[in-house]
Structure 1
């Protein structure tokens, strides 16, 4: 029976990244995947959705050009070609991952894994043993058990990206990040989008001050948003709610994800609710078996799972490194404008100072016509420690990194205030927001 230093079950961002890190650290590695490498992120999640968002963003740029005087009489959307481009990019990225796995001499098993408490792993007719095992099996879409839904047809994010024709109409159930991003990806292309979210507001895990900006933009691009109601039942293509009946041609459930815990249940691991219970080192209730990513809670983000996997490998090797700090994990919403956040939000902190600088005075933002948004810093009053930050702007997911890098380097708001940013850039608004903490902002 072949023996490995470590076996990783699941080749999504948590699994394949930790496998490569382990191999580069000198370990003999086995990696198992029952479907495609890349997991949900690359195949049915963040990568395909962001490609569609780039398409819709380009349509909006063309429309802005018309407003400025660069006139394009007709914009024709060839949706099959857009989806072909999506497929080509995804395939290239998957081939890259396969190459990384091969070039690092990782033994790759394709198939369903069965794991025993004695650390033996069986995949089809092959069995091997590992000194340590990381479970990185990801998650699947969750669809609430609504009355009558069994007689209705619908998409989940696992099936949505197989569409070949642009839908004329789409109703989205949900109001979180995935639901809002999907609405933004199709509405500018010409789809009539209705979003039904029973909660009082959208994006309730995100910065409250960002939500009105996104709601306004949703209205401007023709998305119908219905909130604060109760679902009653589904009847064919009718959705009965406490606010009335809504009909649909196409229906997408974007109502969150649930962890794939089949292996954990076979092993009879301890659970914390629906999640696998782990300690701060991601150790489960069985020795030498770890779990990361969507299996253990925290942020359901690819980069969070990757960071956790790398930490586990280093922990197994005896490296002394800091724990994965949830406050340092950036959270991104790829709407237009984007929302990028890390750390604590304003309403989560007491005895802190918050500065919010609208970007509508920023020269680069004015040049680009992207004046919706702000830079917000949450800092301690005395020392100027950065507790959290939020950027709402075009390109916010890139702009945030200047603040995050400062935080990671143990810098304070003083360093941000003294940093020389290039001009004109949207990111220079970070420096001005930091100066505002001391009452010395230029553009205020």
Structure 2
């Protein structure tokens, strides 16, 4: 018997779930109030990567003489053309998702608002003004998230913006104050500093979930890039002074204040779940301000109703995690035993020196009293990195004494691509010896992962041995 499944939300969790359900021969209805692709495609991952590429090109052009190339004029970012290119990239990908969904005869698409009536029913108000109800055998909630604005005096002033609004600017600000040292804040800081803004970052803690060594090194790299970074500090108030925005911030551990001024203030303090359509009185959906509460299989307090992605309390806010959860729940609903490993997933930060990691940090291993060995290989000793003029950073592997990979951490060129090999090894239960025994092409950045793995057992060829006394 064919199952009918409703999906609320067409972001990276929702549309992937819908497609996987259709592949498994379910009858699928998906409701999206905006454009398909969700925050990631329309206001997050993809737009920022479009800008990040422009920032990278400016960075490379500013270093052109190192490569024997003379450029007569200093490269300048054109805000209007940056915005136009970003929109073009986004539109192409949104159109692609539309075409994908429409290619499945068993997926019905509604554009409009969805409201969960009970564990079997969704009320739909279409963009055309039609109101209807559909009944389902199962429902997947993939509402996503929105920027959260912290309680700071002056938060409503003109020019105090979220990441959504920053991505719609048609010019590069002369100066930008970023409040928040997480992924969103640091990515925008790195991008706009390179595009020509003077960026100030007010951070209570830089990348709190990253390995401690990466936290220290990325702070140093951001400062080297020209960013004014203030750590262990919190914004207290924002005021308009002489046509600019002045931010007063206080250190957490000392009685001292800092005052920074910019044309715009980006509030990058994180994102919160979107509860739209889920708050009907008496519904019985268990949730709090942190998100919807689910069990190990992402089923909510309502039987047959599942939640995935940013909507879920405590969930990592990563598009690829939402997509994996969408596939997992789709397979579960259709009676399959999902084989997706949801425990290991890479986290990536697209600063100018990229960051990527999977598994435990050193701090977590110490806290859990887990015995481990650490090996680190620096890109300065990697031929491909030197040829590319990108010798900063490292690959670091944490492993048990017998070689089980516990964590992988990369800071440097193409970290977001390099982490795939190490995440695959961890997810598949492979060990350090499996990486060591695999021939890696030369010259490539991936050799750094091979050397870091070999270093666990003191077998690295291009890693100098400590001096013996």
Aligned ranges 1:61-76 → 2 under 5 Å = 61-74=60-73, 75-76=75-76
Unaligned segments of structure 1, at least 5 residues: none
**What corresponds to 1:97 in structure 2?**
97
Q: Secondary structure at the match of 1:165?
A: coil
Aligned ranges 1:114-263 → 2 under 5 Å = 114-124=115-125, 125-197=131-203, 199=204, 201-236=205-240, 237-242=245-250, 243-263=257-277
TM-score by length of 1: 0.95
Deviations 1:112-171 (A, max 9, x none): 101111512111212211110000000110010112333454111122111111111111
Determine if the alignment matches structure 1 residue 275 to structure 2 residue 286: no
Q: Secondary structure at the match of 1:387?
A: strand
**Pairwise CA RMSD:** 1.6
Q: Secondary structure at the match of 1:82?
A: helix
| Aligned-pair CA distance for 1:272 | 5.4
Q: Secondary structure at the match of 1:263?
A: coil
Q: For 1:408 and 1:179, locate their aligned partners in 2 and report how far apart those are by CA, in whole Å.
A: 29
**What corresponds to 2:377 in structure 1?**
357
Q: For 2:356 and 2:119, locate their aligned partners in 1 and report how far apart those are by CA, in whole Å.
A: 43
**What corresponds to 1:82 in structure 2?**
82
Q: 1:159 to 1:151 in 2, by over 3 A?
A: closer
**What corresponds to 2:329 in structure 1?**
312
**What corresponds to 2:456 in structure 1?**
437
| Aligned-pair CA distance for 1:273 | 5.5
- The answer (yes or no) to whether the contact 1:374–1:393 under 8 Å persists in 2 is yes
Q: Secondary structure at the match of 1:244?
A: strand
Equivalences, count:
438
TM-score by length of 2: 0.90
Unaligned segments of structure 2, at least 5 residues: 126-130, 251-256, 464-469
Deviations 1:338-371 (A, max 9, x none): 1110011122112111111212111111111111
| Aligned-pair CA distance for 1:244 | 3.1
- The answer (yes or no) to whether the contact 1:283–1:290 under 8 Å persists in 2 is yes
Q: For 1:184 and 1:355, locate their aligned partners in 2 and report how far apart those are by CA, in whole Å.
A: 28
Aligned ranges 1:319-338 → 2 under 5 Å = 319-322=336-339, 324-326=341-343, 328-338=344-354
Q: For 2:342 and 2:36, locate their aligned partners in 1 and report how far apart those are by CA, in whole Å.
A: 27
| Aligned-pair CA distance for 1:48 | 0.2
- The answer (yes or no) to whether the contact 2:324–2:340 under 8 Å persists in 1 is no
Q: For 1:219 and 1:151, locate their aligned partners in 2 and report how far apart those are by CA, in whole Å.
A: 28
**What corresponds to 1:422 in structure 2?**
441
**What corresponds to 2:405 in structure 1?**
386
Q: For 1:14 and 1:118, locate their aligned partners in 2 and report how far apart those are by CA, in whole Å.
A: 20
| Aligned-pair CA distance for 1:96 | 0.1
Q: For 2:24 and 2:103, locate their aligned partners in 1 and report how far apart those are by CA, in whole Å.
A: 14
- The answer (yes or no) to whether the contact 2:397–2:453 under 8 Å persists in 1 is yes
**What corresponds to 2:18 in structure 1?**
19
Say which is worse superposed, 44-53 or 230-239, in terms of deviation. 230-239
Q: Secondary structure at the match of 1:265?
A: coil
| Aligned-pair CA distance for 1:234 | 2.2
Q: For 1:82 and 1:148, locate their aligned partners in 2 and report how far apart those are by CA, in whole Å.
A: 29
- The answer (yes or no) to whether the contact 1:308–1:324 under 8 Å persists in 2 is no
Q: Secondary structure at the match of 2:161?
A: coil
